[in-house]
């Protein structure tokens, strides 16, 4: 699996995404210096249950929202809409 260091870098990068904005998994990977690690970022997000990490702000590069471990895609969209993201 991934080291705690990698996962913490991912979580910290996601915490920095401003409310009302999104980033792709690839953008998060590049932001932490691992440009080829989009899937690894997805794995960290899929296993994230830290409520201080707004993982609903991380989306797929193809424009789809992807899953959300706290209620599925519908909940992810609902949270993004409350932040002003057009879904």
Which residues are known to be catalytic? 55
d(CA 26, CA 71): 23
User: What is the sign, positive or negative, of the torsion defined by CA atoms of 58, 50, 15, 47?
Assistant: negative
Could you give the CA distance from residue 45 to residue 63 in angstroms, rounded to a whole number? 17
Rounded to 5°, the CA angle 73-75-79 comes to 115
């Amino acid at each position: 699996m991934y080291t705690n260091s990698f996962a913490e870098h991912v979580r910290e990068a996601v915490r920095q995404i401003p409310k009302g904005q999104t980033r792709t998994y690839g953008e998060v990977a590049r932001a932490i210096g691992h440009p080829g690690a989009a899937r690894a970022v997805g794995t960290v997000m899929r296993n994230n249950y830290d409520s201080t990490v707004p993982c609903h702000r991380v989306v797929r590069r193809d424009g789809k929202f992807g899953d959300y471990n706290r209620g599925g895609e519908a909940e992810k969209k609902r949270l993004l809409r409350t932040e002003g993201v057009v879904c």
